[in-house]
Structure 1
């Protein structure tokens, strides 16, 4: 019996290991294929350097301190813009979700602005704010605003009316009803909006830094492109991808901590 339990535990560990490594199989195979094609001369180094050349470029920018300096600058811009745009979107989504008059007054205007591609405003934003930090913060804030607003608004409106009535029966009203029933009921939608916004945040920053910046990862990529250092350009692209993945992992971590009571997360844990 003890041997059977041991095998079951080992089998469970083996399954978890396979499950966690499964998402990395395709990226790893693509990297190997990329390197082999480069070594076989199928890819021109000036167009697409091999992964090994990108790694060597990584050591170079780490050695001179450029990587950490520019990554820190880009991260500050990204999360400052996210904090500004996300906070405004969250507050407006709550207000419109709770107060019908506010929705009728502002939602149509917000939806009209949402249909305008925010990256198409780059030339105007440069004219308005110049190439300083204000232009990049404005673009990132505008980009992250709409997913959080829409998901917050939808989450508030999607809360089960039966739960609200039950809360009122138990004596909850006003802020206590909002904090203990309405906000938790909308939290899954809000966090989904946060995940969408984090992806848009990095996409917007890439464009903003490439067009109008004198520091940051996008500036490093633009400077390297002018001197045909394509290994550094590819490194910058991969760096944005890594930062985006880390941001998404952090958002998923928040979901797993704050939504332990939610039926979908309970089924995953089970």
Structure 2
């Protein structure tokens, strides 16, 4: 039999850092190539600078906005809205998903209504939110919460229903209470689906934030984009889009990091 090689902690850490650096490098390949081509066609005048400013001019505009403090002020407002809406919608989605997954009667009562509402486009509901709640913060937070609710609800429900029924038999033998079943059996087994729902909810909440801030805000990244569009400040529009992309990617990476920590026990195919 071949001898097993023992890897020291220092070697393991170096390998881990090397894997992270390699992933970052590979993930940056397409954006860097895109920026190079973009700068080339802008520098040679192939596209209009007014409609499609070069990456260098966008970077200069971003530096100006950071130095003036405008960008961080708008970003702070947007992050607060997205976080509040996600906390409201995500917590409700997780809770109701658990209830519907655990109890058949709850599924029969609640799931048809939730699935019907899930198919209604958010843009179709936006005018109603404005009529009911006005242009204030409440309508924006509720719109974001509604978008964040459905992915966590659906994935939590599926995660609970995919738990092996034999585990519930073991829980009954061990005389687990319902609370113990949920915390020590259902949630750990449904965690892959719940984390997937968390990623989707965060991305949908960020998308809904754009819609919410385009419907009558006086601050936020979405307002910044609309104001810049009105005065043909295309560089600021691209800065706002870039901020949305970077913050969205950062939130997704945080959840990916959680997946790596919490799902170490999974022995799944990684490509």
When normalised by structure 2's length, the TM-score is 0.90
Deviations 1:50-85, CA, capped at 9 Å, x for gaps: 110110111111111101110010000001000000
2:120 to 110, 116, 121: 116
1:200 to 198, 204, 212: 204
Which residue of structure 2 aligns with residue 83 of structure 1? 87
Gaps of 5+ in 1: none
1:102 and 2:138 are equivalent in the alignment: no
1:136 to 121, 140, 150: 140
Query: Cα distance, 1:14 vs. partner?
Result: 6.1
Larger helix percent:
1
Which residue of structure 2 aligns with residue 245 of structure 1? 249
| Mapping 1:173-212, distance limit 5 Å | 173-212=177-216
Which residue of structure 2 aligns with residue 154 of structure 1? 158
1:236 to 236, 240, 244: 240
Partners of 2:20 and 2:224 lie apart in 1 by 39
Q: How many residues align?
A: 259
Change (3 A) 1:66 1:15: closer
SS in 1 for 2:28: helix
RMSD between aligned residues = 2.0
SS in 2 for 1:159: coil
1:52 and 2:56 are equivalent in the alignment: yes
SS in 2 for 1:214: coil
1:39 to 31, 39, 43: 43
Are the aligned partners of 1:93 and 1:152 in contact in 2 as well (CA < 8 Å)?
yes
Are the aligned partners of 1:97 and 1:103 in contact in 2 as well (CA < 8 Å)?
yes
253-262 or 60-69, larger mean C-alpha shift: 253-262
Which residue of structure 1 aligns with residue 259 of structure 2? 255
Partners of 2:130 and 2:195 lie apart in 1 by 31
Query: Cα distance, 1:15 vs. partner?
Result: 6.4
77-86 or 119-128, larger mean C-alpha shift: 119-128
Query: Cα distance, 1:212 vs. partner?
Result: 1.6
Query: Cα distance, 1:189 vs. partner?
Result: 0.3
SS in 2 for 1:261: coil
Partners of 1:168 and 1:34 lie apart in 2 by 62
Deviations 1:116-164, CA, capped at 9 Å, x for gaps: 0112211221111111101110110010111000001111111011222
Query: Cα distance, 1:211 vs. partner?
Result: 2.2
11-20 or 245-254, larger mean C-alpha shift: 11-20
Are the aligned partners of 1:81 and 1:137 in contact in 2 as well (CA < 8 Å)?
yes
Change (3 A) 1:16 1:75: closer
SS in 2 for 1:107: helix
Partners of 2:214 and 2:183 lie apart in 1 by 42
SS in 1 for 2:245: helix
Gaps of 5+ in 2: 1-6
Which residue of structure 2 aligns with residue 65 of structure 1? 69
